[in-house]
Structure 1
Amino acid sequence: NELIVLPPMTKVIGDLAPAETIAGGFFGSVREDGSLEVELQAILGATNELGFNRIGGRTL
């Protein structure tokens, strides 16, 4: 996944700590200036796994 940097926000609702443990985050994701360096998948809905399976369909 592409690494992206999300700029610091002036107002944060909640805690930034989980950003280091969710998918796409890693230890050190939260920078000292409040910005986040994460993989794209850390943004909910940014990636789509639709079709990433062996289930399929066919017309009979």
Structure 2
Amino acid sequence: MLFAAQIPQESGYLVGWGSLALINAGLAQGKNRGGLNWFLISLLLGPVATFILVALCEKLPGSP
């Protein structure tokens, strides 16, 4: 009998890391930056990329 608790925890980390990369892509697009580029950067750097986007990146001029 299988229970949800028997799912390997590593898959949970992968889902969380991928979700964070998608969130970072959305944040980047909101600041008029390349969403795909930041998605790929986030796959490598994870929470560090989130910090860079939120704390260090200003919104680029362009669309409102």
Q: Normalized against structure 1, the TM-score is what?
A: 0.27
Q: Normalized against structure 2, the TM-score is what?
A: 0.26
Q: From the two aligned structures, give the one with the greater strand fraction.
A: 1
Pair member with larger Rg: 1
Higher relative contact order (CA 8 A, sep 6+): 1
